[in-house]
Amino acid sequence: MSSGQISASQERVSRQLGELPTSLEVVCKLMMMLRNPTQENEQVAEVLMTDRELTMRLITRLAMKDREKLQSASKNLSQSSDSSLMATLFDSVLHMGYKAILRLVSALSVGQILAPEFRGYGYQKRDLWIHSVTTALASQRLCEVLIDTNRPSQDPSLGFIAGIMHDVGKAGLNYDLAKETQKVTTELKNKRMLWIKLEKEICGIDHCSLGAKLVKQWKLPKSIIDAVKQHHNPKASCQLGAIVHLADYCARFINPTGGVGNFRCKIKPEALEYSGLTSLDIERVIAHALNDKETINLYATT
Amino acid sequence: MNKLLIHPGEGVFVSNPDREVVLEKIGFGVCLIVIRTSDWSKALCHILFHSSGRISSTSKINPMSYADTALNALIGEINRNKPVPPNESEGDNHQEFEAMLIGGCRPMIGTSLKKLNESELDFGPRIIVALKSQLKDRSAKLRYQHTEGSNLRSIRIRENRISIYEETFLNREPRQTDLSMKDGKWILTQDNEHQILK
C-alpha cells in the first residue's frame, strides 16, 4: 500500500470523526475530569459547555432516560440560553452521576467510531467497542492496582483513555481488509501470520501506527499516543503502553470477541517488567472484571 | 428448544433433555465436560484460571472458575443432581468419570527477555496442564480434547450430543465437530467423516 492509501485510511477515520458531534479533545478532558470523584460539578458542566453539539446530544440522551426531569429542558434546547443550558447540565451531572455521564460521553464519541460491524476483522456490531471498553476498564484497574500497592503507576484516567483508544486504528484499516477477505483467511489459517503483520502487508500500516497518528491528530496527550503506538510492542520507556498491552490480554479473557485468529496475539512477557505488574495482578484484574460485568454491559448498551 | 447460556466462570449440570446448554466465546479459557460413565450424566463449566490459591479468598468467583477445583465441583454437581442409588454405589471415589476439554487458545509468547518465565502469561495451556493433573489424580479418562490454536470456539450440548464450533473463516459459518453417544460409544463427526472415540 502506498503512502497515499495510508493517508486515505487516516482520512476515512478523520471524516468519520468529523461527522461526530464533538471533538475528541473535549471528550478526553471530560474523561479525565469525570474519573475524579472530587471534581466540582460546575467545572464538568463548564467543559461540557465548550462543545454545544455534545451538550445538546447529551441532554437529549439524558432526557430519554429521565423524561420528567429533563424533557422540558431538551424540548427547546436549540433556543436555550447558555445560562439555562448550564443549569440543565449542572442538574444532569448532579442527577446522573459522573459514571453515567462518562459512559454517555464515551458512547457519543469513541463509541460511534468503534461500534459498527468490522467485517475486515470478522467483528460483529459492537464487538470492537465492547473489547475497547473492557480494555479501558482493565487498564484503569491495573493502574489502580499499582497505586494501591505503592508501585510506580500512571494516572488511571490516562489508562482508561489509552485503553478505549488502543484499537481505533482498526476502524481505518477495516475497509481495505474487508476487500481482501480471502487473502486474510488464507494468511491467517495457512501461514499462521499475526494480524499486525497482515495489516502491514495489505494496508501498508498496522493499526497501532495508524491509531497513534489519529490520536495525535485529535490532540490527545503524548503518553496516550505512545501507548496506542506501542500496545503490541511495549517498551521500557512507556509504562502506559505495557499496561495497555496487558489490559488488552485481560480483555480477551473477560469478553472474548469473534473473528478468525483473534487470539493470535503475541504476548510480551517484558510487559510485566515494564509495567511493574505480575501475572497474579493480571489474574486478579480478570477476576475483578468478571465480578463487575455490569459496568461493561452498561457501556455496551449506552 | 430452550437454551441455557453458561458464562465464563460458571458451570451447570446438564439435566433437561429439552434444554440446550450453550457456552459461547471460549478463548483462552477452557470448557471442562465431566461425564459419569455409569449413566452418562454430564456437567460442564468454563474455567478461567489454573489455580484457586492465587486469587484472594474474598473473591466471589465460584470453584468452577479454577482448574484445581472444577473437577470436584462438577462431580459434586452430578452426584447432587442425580444421586446414585446406595446399593449401586460404594462411594464417590468408586464411580467412573471421563472428561472432555475444549478451548485454551494459545497466545504467542514473545521471547525477548529470557529471564522471565515465558509460561507465566500462557494462561490457557496452564489451565489444561492443571486439569490433566486433576484428571490423573481422580483416575478420570480424558476422552477428547479440542484445544489450543487461536480461534474462538463455542459449544452446544443436548442430551447425547456435543457440538463444537470453531471460527476458522472470516464472516463464514464456523467449522463444526460433533460428538454423539450411540450404544455406549462416542462417535466423532468432523467434515462428514465419522470415527469412534477410543
Provide the total of helices (H) and of strands (E) in chain A, helices listed first. Answer: 19, 1
CATH of the domain at B41: 3.30.1330.200
Cβ–Cβ under 8 Å, residues A157 and A203: no
List the CATH code of the domain at A117-301: 1.10.3210.10
Contact flag A262-B152 (C-beta cutoff 8 Å):
yes
Helix, strand or coil, per DSSP, at residue A218: coil
Place of cell 490520536: A215
* Angstroms from A233 CA to nearest CA on chain B: 10
Range of the domain at B74: 2-196
Terminal-to-terminal C-alpha distance of chain A: 37
Q: Could A259 and B152 be called an inter-chain contact, meaning their C-beta atoms sit closer than 8 Å?
A: yes
Please provide residue B38's backbone torsions phi and psi, each rounded to the nearest 5 degrees: -70, -30
Task: Work out the pLDDT band at B32, boundaries 50, 70, 90.
Answer: very high
What mean pLDDT value characterizes chain B? 85
User: Tens of pLDDT along B34-64?
Assistant: 999 988 899 999 999 988 876 655 556 688 9
Those of residues 32-61 in B touching chain A at CB distance below 8 A are 48-49, 54-56, 59-61
pLDDT of B168 reads 74
Considering chain A, tell me which residue range(s) the CATH 1.10.3210.10 domain(s) occupy: 117-301
Rounded to a whole number, what is the distance in Å from the CA of A205 to chain B's nearest CA? 21
| Strand stretches in B54-184, DSSP E | 97-103, 108-109, 141-147, 153-158, 161-166, 175-182
Instruction: State the DSSP code for A78.
Output: G
The answer to whether A258 contacts chain B (CB < 8 Å) is: yes
CA quadruple B34, A255, B68, A270: dihedral sign = positive
pLDDT in tens, chain A (302 residues): 566 766 776 677 666 655 554 567 777 788 777 767 787 877 887 887 787 777 777 777 665 555 555 555 555 555 556 667 667 766 766 667 777 777 777 787 888 889 999 989 888 889 999 999 999 999 999 999 999 999 999 998 889 999 999 999 999 899 889 988 888 888 877 766 788 889 988 888 999 999 998 888 877 889 999 999 999 999 999 999 999 999 999 998 888 876 666 677 778 888 999 999 998 899 889 888 887 777 887 777 76
Residue A94, pLDDT score: 66
Are residues A267 and B26, on separate chains, in Cβ contact within 8 Å? Answer: no
Q: Mean pLDDT lowest for which of A105-119, B10-24, B80-94, B121-135?
A: B80-94
Chosen for mutation from A282, A290, A293, A294 (greatest number of chain B CBs closer than 10 Å) is: A290
Give pLDDT tens digits for A192-208: 678 888 998 888 899 99
Compute the CA torsion angle A140, A144, A145, A148 (nearest 10 deg): 180
Measuring CA to CA, how many Å separate B93 from each of A169, B9, B86? Answer: 55, 25, 14
- CA dist B38 and B54 (Å) reads 35
Q: Is the pLDDT of residue B145 over 70?
A: yes
Q: Which chain A positions have a beta carbon within 8 Å of B169's beta carbon?
A: 185, 189, 260
- Who among A119, A122, A290 is closest to B61 (CB)? A290
Decide which of B147 and A194 is more confident: B147
**What is the predicted pLDDT for the residue at A195?**
87
Model pLDDT for residues B111-136, shown as the tens digit of each residue? 554 445 556 788 888 899 999 999 99
Q: In chain A, whose CA is at the least distance from the CA of B172?
A: A122
Of B76 and A301, the structure prediction assigns the larger pLDDT to: B76
What total of structural domains would you count in chain B? 1
**Percentage of chain B surpassing pLDDT 70?**
84
